[in-house]
Amino acid sequence: MTVLKTSVLVLDCADPEPLARFYAELLGAGAGPAIGDGDGELILVTGGTGVVLLGIRRDANHLPPSWPAPEDSQQTHLRILVAAEDLDEAEREAVSLGARPLAAEDDGTRLDDRTTLRRFSDPAGHAFVLAAVREDPAAHGADG
């Protein structure tokens, strides 16, 4: 019998409350109170149905990733799926909340790829993309 499990991507940062609010607003979700998880303070960002979308953990020694510096790898990023016709509006929303656009040429991507993908760093420096999909993004579930 398989033990029931789930997983969540956890982003480390020096100050988790503002970053949790950033992602909660960007994803139309809620940010719970900080909890101790045995590995520091953790805030869970949850969707309307209670599904955990993301975790934000306090790390007092956190240094922001240096990507898209050419000599560094991206390591990991959050991919947020959005309907293709809403991509421009999603970009405006992300920037208004504090996201920093990353120029496509920073990572060698062709500029015409902006029609389906927009790259950003969140207020703590983590990479994320807004990716256009043809179908309803909710149909993709939590694998985004």
The string of pLDDT tens digits covering residues 6-41 is 778 889 888 999 999 999 999 999 998 888 755 668
| 132 part of a folded domain | yes
Same domain? For 87 and 54 the reply is no
Strand order of the sheet with strand 100-101?
78-83, 127-133, 117-121, 100-101
- Give the residue, 40 or 119, on which the prediction is more confident: 119
Same domain? For 30 and 83 the reply is no
The whole-number average pLDDT for the span 46-64 is 87
pLDDT at position 106 is 47
If one counts the domains in the chain, the total is 2
Find the Cα–Cα–Cα–Cα dihedral 61, 64, 65, 68, rounded to 10°: -160
Instruction: Please give the backbone phi and psi of residue 25, each rounded to the nearest 5 degrees, phi first.
Output: -70, -45
CATH number of the domain encompassing residue 137: 3.30.720
Rounded Cα distance between 86 and 94, Å, is: 12
Q: Residue 120 above 80 pLDDT?
A: yes
pLDDT band at 54 (very low <50, low <70, confident <90, very high): very high
Average pLDDT of every residue of the chain: 80
Same domain? For 47 and 82 the reply is no
Residue 127 to residues 11, 51, 60, Cα–Cα distance (Å): 10, 22, 19
pTM of the model as a whole? 0.72
Output the six-digit token pair for 74: 């991206």
Rounded Cα distance between 23 and 99, Å, is: 10
| 131 part of a folded domain | yes
Q: Residue 143 above 50 pLDDT?
A: no
Rounded Cα distance between 113 and 26, Å, is: 22
Half-sphere exposure of residue 29, counting CA atoms within 13 Å on the CB side? 22
pLDDT at position 123 is 94
Domain that holds residue 37: 10-58
pLDDT band at 142 (very low <50, low <70, confident <90, very high): very low
